[in-house]
Amino acid sequence: MSSDKITFYNAVICPYAQRAAITLREVGAEYETVEIDLSNKPDWYKDINPELKVPAFTVGGKHIAESLVLIEYLNDRFPEKNLLPKDPLKRAYVRYFIEYYSSKVQSEFFKYVFNIKAENAFADYEKNVNGALDRINELLVQQSPTGPYFLGNEYSLADIAVAPLLARILGFHRLFLNGYEWEAVKKYPRLAEFIKGITERPSFKETYIGDEKYVDSFTAKFNIAKP
């Protein structure tokens, strides 16, 4: 295993950076954090990541970026932490779950907030996400009838990748949509247990900026007003 110390370029507001922050804690890596102001990125940061996004790592003088790449790198570097199953099919399910959540839930959330004043925007969001959550519940039950994580009792990259994104949507629901809850979460105990499990994990709570700061920043950045 490489002993090179990691420099972690972070922005606590960013859910993708939080993926890396959680994983660094879970694997017990030695690292130092450099906080990047996303509204005023330093000129030197383009030499770390030309796309100017966070997160990024510097390891042994070399730079690497993109959150899913970074968390897989940490899994490969610290395989004893078992953040991916050894079984190739289960690893594939973890990766499928991450992609499904991103394309079917996260994308619908962004579609809604960027068209929040459009007719039927909320109704479409509600319908499409609840439908996607039906399938997510099936995937959860397929892996294990009980949680609290995607793989049951086994915490994995599936949980790490989804938690920062999902938590921010739920925070938006609580503070911006007057506590709105998805019907699917009320209907499926396995789904509700999963959400609770990933958002109450210490490594998540220690790295989360909090609902109020996130929602204030998000709505100000995109100039979103309550519908």
Residues annotated as catalytic are 14
CA dihedral 76, 79, 84, 85 (to 10 degrees): 130
Helices 88-101, 121-143: axis angle to 10 degrees equals 170
In angstroms, the CA 96 to CA 44 distance is: 36
> Quick one: which of 52, 58, 18, 20 has its CA closest to 36?
52
Q: Measured at the alpha carbon of residue 219, what is the angle toward residues 104 and 49, in degrees to the nearest 5? A: 70
Report CA-CA distances (Å) from 14 to 18, 122, 132, 207, 211. Answer: 6, 24, 24, 10, 12
Joined together, the tokens standing for residue 183 give 């019907």
